[in-house]
């Protein structure tokens, strides 16, 4: 594996993790808002 490929591989992981975290947070916020609008608890 070349140095540039290894560097790209290492640098892309934080971007992937940030994207997954953003999706999880958006889904949680959507569920929380829907529960709040319906007057029920999320848990």
pLDDT in tens, 2-23: 999 999 989 999 999 999 999 9
Q: Is the dihedral of CA 23, 28, 31, 32 positive or negative?
A: negative
Confidence of residue 43 (pLDDT cuts 50, 70, 90): confident
Output the pLDDT for position 28.
Answer: 97
Output the pLDDT for position 25.
Answer: 98
Angstrom distance (rounded) from CA 32 to CA 29: 5
> What does the CA dihedral 20, 23, 27, 29 come to, rounded to 10 degrees?
110
Give the CA count within 13 Å in the CB-facing half-sphere of 26.
6
């Amino acid at each position: 594996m070349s140095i540039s490929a290894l560097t790209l591989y290492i640098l892309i992981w934080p971007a992937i993790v940030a994207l997954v975290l953003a999706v999880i947070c958006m889904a949680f916020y959507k569920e929380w808002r829907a529960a709040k609008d319906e007057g029920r608890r999320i848990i």
